[in-house]
Chains A and B, each alone.
Chain A
Amino acid sequence: MTNRVTTTQETKATTDAVRLLPRDRLADLFHALTARGYQVIGPRVDQGAIIYDQLTSVEELPRGWTDEQGPGYYRLKRREDDDAFGYVVGPHSWKRYLFPPLVTLARIERDGEDWHIESQPESPVKRAFLGVRACELAAIAVQDRVFLSQAYVDPIYQARRESVCLIAANCTQAAATCFCTSMDTGPRCRSGFDLAITEIAAGYIVEVGSELGASLAADLPLRPASPEDQADGEAARARAVAQIERTLDTHDIRALLMNNLDHPQWDDVGQRCLSCTNCTMVCPTCFCCSVTEVGDLTEQHIERQRQWDSCFHPDFSYINGGQVRGQVRSRYRQWLTHKLATWIDQFDVSGCVGCGRCITWCPVGIDLTEEVAAIRGNPS
């Protein structure tokens, strides 16, 4: 009897204590995931960028690489150490695994004059996302509201979301494009993960965020983190906070933008924007999509395919032989006001998590924080 009580308390004590996964045991986490049937999706280097892809081992992680970012600028650089999570965010987001860029909604088979339609739920794949940033956890929470909280739920997103395991990685540095502190989404992972890690010289400080996370942790060769380890973790996370330079003043931003729909700044940005759609493709919260019919040569077999779309495409707003938003200025205005203002009306949350991707990947370096500042500085 006494024994049992002691055991329980011990378990409790170890749960509360800060624990560390030694640096050379990261593969154990990978194996704990694959042993549970998870396909591991994580960062790796591809064509000069860090992207998210299916990984076969921890060897594929971008060890020793970091990214340097600025408006319209992204370069990989060598790190002095061999950190695996020593970069910020790249052109991919986890959205491509929860809300795929292209998916078949239904298959139609013609049967003489008649036809039949079939919509099989996707065969469930359990995916573990390894290295989710705080702003990305926030972006997933934003898309949860879009796809799961309305009267109609998106079943593709739902099935994928329910089977996902989130292994977050606290940022230990920030890019020049980051402004998560303004959006109150990071850089610290606070909730919404199964496990969160902080990478330090000795290894990975591990935090448990769910029952699944606890069961994964139970399989790992964790040891208590020493006071030095803990101080290193604090310092690494503080470094990220300290490096964030960019800000977006969100005070009353909804009213600011909606009261300035005719501001000359929209003409100004409309002159610079190429309407290339990059910003919407890299944004982890953008959810616009369209459906097209794809038939084989005989048109016997037809698929209805849904693909990512963008409010920057001229035909996005096509009706009655014309485009509602025929000018670039109105398309940029649609994008920015949706992100920062009307998203709040629609989903009670901002559509921007401050990840900075749209700034980095804009070929002409348009920075939404500067566009907002220009309007705020000179409201009409």
Chain B
Amino acid sequence: MSHQGTVVPPHPWVPHRAMIRRFCAEIPDVSTLDIRLFDDAERSRFDCQPGQFNMLYVPGVGEAAISVSGPGLEPGDWAHTIRRAGAVTRELTRLPVGATIGLRGPYGRGWPCAAAMERDVLIIAGGIGLAPLRPLVRYFLSNPSAARCVRLLYGSRSPDHLLFAEEIDRWRALGLDVDITVDRASLGWQGNVGVVPMLVDRLHPLDPTRTEVYLCGPEVMMRYTTRALLQRGVEASHIWLSVERNMQCAVGLCGHCQLGPAFVCRDGPVFSYEHVAPLLYTEDL
């Protein structure tokens, strides 16, 4: 059957109904929600690549861009690890299991996994930045031939703020090299104390020509970390980082997320450092 007239496309601004299926308190102020789309057809089409994000919605409050932190426990569920920052994230993490929220996505370009082929991979996270990198760590663990070797550098505020601590132990058991540092130690902490760039300075061995870096964290942390990486000779074109900007539409239509020529929602959030550095480090761009 052919139809007359124009086909109305699905409205890119309108969230789909979804359900909070599981709630897991991670560290102070951070929780992981498993979320499932109600609509069967939408759900079967829904697939998120590492580094992509969704817009989560609470009626009466608003939307927030939240990265997918992996598949959920049940097939069809997707995990989102959320730090309480303001109105939307507070409400999202306060709703009970079973509550209906809104979701649209997935959006953006995620981590370029294929760039790791035959290379020494460094995954570097600061704070909540580990959430969007978790699917990437899991990908490398389940695809050992996707890279020559993989190492995780992770920094958090304090030992109490180490996200996914149990899962990191499991990753170690599976053979992942993990270096952790905290800004401030607490009683009983025997690991590194200091900022993430310090872990980069201390890396040994490091073959800069063979290194591929995936980086996510607060913008200052990424700034000093990239500086340390460049000092060690890592090439700018082999550093990938995820950028945050205000987002309203997530589909290139509202203008909010612009960073020079880029729409972070459409062209990012993951960018090559080589391309984004001049923009990121122009004051207030």
A-contacting residues, B233-285, CB 8 Å: 244-246, 248-249, 251-256, 258, 260-261, 263, 266, 282-285
Check A243 for interface membership: any CB of B closer than 8 A: no
Docked complex Cα distance between A115 and B12 (Å): 20
B253 touches A150 (CB 8 A): yes
Secondary structure dominating the interface of A: mixed
A155 touches B251 (CB 8 A): no
B256 touches A316 (CB 8 A): yes
Q: Which residues of A contact B6 (CB under 8 A)?
A: 158-159, 162
B contact residues vs A (CB 8 Å cutoff): 6, 8-9, 11-15, 17, 59-63, 85-86, 99-100, 102, 218, 244-246, 248-249, 251-256, 258, 260-261, 263, 266, 282-285
The residue on A at minimum CB distance from B259 is: A324
Identify which of A50-58, A73-81, A103-111 touches chain B.
A103-111
Q: Pick the contact of A319: B60, B246, B263 (CB < 8 A).
A: B246
Q: Pick the contact of B266: A151, A155, A292, A333 (CB < 8 A).
A: A151
Q: Pick the contact of A334: B13, B100, B285 (CB < 8 A).
A: B285
B284 touches A326 (CB 8 A): yes
Check A92 for interface membership: any CB of B closer than 8 A: no
B9 touches A155 (CB 8 A): yes
The residue on B at minimum CB distance from A162 is: B6
Assuming the contacts A119-B14, A262-B282, A291-B63, asked whether A155 and B8 have C-beta atoms less than 8 A apart, the reply is: yes
Q: Pick the contact of A291: B60, B86, B248 (CB < 8 A).
A: B248
Q: What are 29 A-B contacts defined by CB distance under 8 Å? A: A105-B13, A106-B14, A108-B59, A113-B99, A115-B59, A117-B102, A119-B11, A150-B251, A150-B253, A150-B266, A155-B12, A159-B6, A261-B282, A262-B283, A287-B253, A289-B249, A289-B255, A291-B248, A291-B254, A306-B13, A309-B256, A316-B246, A317-B256, A319-B244, A319-B245, A321-B86, A342-B261, A345-B261, A346-B261
Q: Which residues of B contact A295 (CB under 8 A)?
A: 60
B245 touches A317 (CB 8 A): yes
Q: Pick the contact of B17: A117, A325, A330 (CB < 8 A).
A: A117
Q: Pick the contact of A153: B12, B17, B249, B254 (CB < 8 A).
A: B12
A106 touches B251 (CB 8 A): no
A290 touches B253 (CB 8 A): no
With A155-B8, A334-B258 already in contact, 15 other A-B pairs whose C-beta atoms are closer than 8 Å:
A117-B59, A146-B253, A150-B252, A151-B252, A153-B12, A258-B260, A289-B248, A289-B254, A291-B63, A309-B248, A319-B246, A324-B246, A324-B285, A327-B284, A338-B258
The 0/1 profile, CB within 8 Å of B marked 1, for residues 333-366 of chain A is: 1100110011001100000000000000000000
Docked complex Cα distance between A322 and B59 (Å): 24
Ranked 4 nearest A-B pairs via Cβ = A345-B261, A288-B255, A330-B284, A152-B251
Docked complex Cα distance between A154 and B14 (Å): 11
Assuming the contacts A115-B59, A117-B102, A319-B246, asked whether A290 and B254 have C-beta atoms less than 8 A apart, the reply is: yes
Q: Which residues of B contact A108 (CB under 8 A)?
A: 59-60
B-contacting residues, A249-295, CB 8 Å: 258, 261-262, 287-293, 295
A contact residues vs B (CB 8 Å cutoff): 105-106, 108, 110, 113-117, 119, 121, 146-147, 150-155, 158-159, 162, 258, 261-262, 287-293, 295, 299, 302, 304, 306, 309, 311, 316-321, 324-327, 329-330, 333-334, 337-338, 341-342, 345-346
B4 to chain A, nearest CB (A): 13
Q: Which residues of B contact A330 (CB under 8 A)?
A: 283-285
Docked complex Cα distance between A153 and B13 (Å): 10
Docked complex Cα distance between A345 and B263 (Å): 11
The residue on B at minimum CB distance from A288 is: B255
Q: Which residues of B contact A150 (CB under 8 A)?
A: 251-253, 266
Q: Which residues of A contact B253 (CB under 8 A)?
A: 146-147, 150, 152, 154, 287, 289
A352 to chain B, nearest CB (A): 15
Docked complex Cα distance between A57 and B260 (Å): 46
A208 to chain B, nearest CB (A): 24
Q: Which residues of A contact B258 (CB under 8 A)?
A: 334, 338, 342
Docked complex Cα distance between A293 and B266 (Å): 24
Docked complex Cα distance between A299 and B91 (Å): 15
A287 touches B255 (CB 8 A): yes
The residue on B at minimum CB distance from A318 is: B246
The residue on B at minimum CB distance from A108 is: B59
The residue on B at minimum CB distance from A326 is: B284
Docked complex Cα distance between A172 and B60 (Å): 51
A123 to chain B, nearest CB (A): 12
A109 to chain B, nearest CB (A): 9
B8 touches A309 (CB 8 A): no
A341 to chain B, nearest CB (A): 8
Docked complex Cα distance between A341 and B99 (Å): 45
Q: Which residues of B contact A289 (CB under 8 A)?
A: 248-249, 253-255
Assuming the contacts A293-B62, A319-B245, A330-B285, asked whether A288 and B261 have C-beta atoms less than 8 A apart, the reply is: no
Q: Which residues of B contact A292 (CB under 8 A)?
A: 62
B59 touches A293 (CB 8 A): yes
The residue on B at minimum CB distance from A330 is: B284
Assuming the contacts A147-B253, A330-B283, asked whether A324 and B266 have C-beta atoms less than 8 A apart, the reply is: no
Q: Tell which of B17, B60, B99 has the most Cβ of chain A within 10 Å.
A: B60
